[in-house]
């Protein structure tokens, strides 16, 4: 195996926590995939076109964003990563994009039948407890990334690896940057290393999950 398929369970554990946490995460991913498949017909009718999402992203970039954020997004666009997937990576820290896409991460009812992603991995604020509302928002965010990856997988998967058959670093750098912005906006102290590990863990495993059910395999 090579590329994303070569990420072993042990590597994923090192990125995000214990073997037990990794197994719980895989179970959560499987449940999420089942939910996405069950709702896919309905979502296909409702989802916005890639052209519309590209316009939302273009307008967002023109609205005065940080140089670092623009750099990450521009790099992913240059690699033909779908605009919808890029938007999903930055939803957590951008309420304007949530409004534009009709996805509210800090409101609405939550599915309490599963263990949130934030409990499966090490993502603990420094010297304080992560508020429940923030945990739920992060959980919704990860679910939106999974949904976006599933809906755009045939265009997304062929473009996520570089010439060394490794993930483009911006695919994990961008959500980590967004999550840190979200933490900062809510005055929560955090470990940069834990945030980076958390994002590397769920992005890699989300893409593996989507690849397993796609015609476009990550070879």
For 131-188, write each residue's pLDDT tens digit. Answer: 888 888 998 999 899 989 988 898 999 999 998 999 999 999 999 999 999 999 999 8
Is the CB of residue 60 less than 8 Å from the CB of residue 77?
A: no
Token pair 């009709």 is at which residue? 102
DSSP 4: G
Residue 16 confidence class, pLDDT cut points 50, 70, 90: very low
**CA–CA separation, 193 and 112 (whole Å):** 28
Q: In Å, what is the CA distance from 51 to each residue of 48, 84, 145, 216? A: 8, 9, 18, 22
> What was the pLDDT predicted at 7?
33
- 53-89 pLDDT per residue, tens: 889 999 998 888 889 999 999 999 999 999 999 999 9
Task: Give the pTM.
Answer: 0.76
- 189-216 pLDDT per residue, tens: 888 998 999 999 989 988 988 888 766 5
Is the CB of residue 73 less than 8 Å from the CB of residue 87?
A: no
């Amino acid at each position: 195996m090579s590329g994303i398929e070569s990420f072993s369970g042990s590597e994923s554990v090192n990125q995000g926590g214990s073997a037990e946490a990794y197994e719980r995460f895989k179970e959560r991913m499987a449940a999420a995939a089942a939910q996405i498949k069950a709702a896919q017909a309905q979502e296909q009718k409702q989802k916005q076109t890639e052209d519309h999402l590209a316009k939302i992203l273009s307008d967002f970039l023109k609205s005065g964003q940080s140089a670092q954020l623009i750099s990450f997004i521009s790099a992913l666009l240059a690699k033909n990563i779908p605009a919808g997937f890029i938007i999903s990576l930055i939803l957590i820290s951008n309420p304007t994009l949530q409004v534009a896409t009709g996805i509210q991460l800090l409101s609405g009812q939550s599915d309490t039948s599963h263990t949130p992603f934030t409990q499966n991995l090490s993502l603990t604020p420094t010297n304080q407890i992560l508020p429940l509302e923030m945990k739920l928002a992060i959980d919704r965010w990860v679910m939106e990334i999974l949904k976006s990856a599933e809906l755009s997988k045939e265009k997304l998967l062929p473009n996520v690896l570089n010439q060394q058959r490794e993930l483009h670093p911006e695919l994990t750098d961008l959500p980590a940057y967004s999550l840190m912005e979200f933490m900062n906006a809510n005055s929560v102290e955090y470990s940069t290393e834990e945030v980076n590990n958390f994002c590397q863990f769920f992005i890699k495993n989300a893409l593996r999950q989507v690849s397993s059910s796609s015609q476009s395999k990550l070879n």
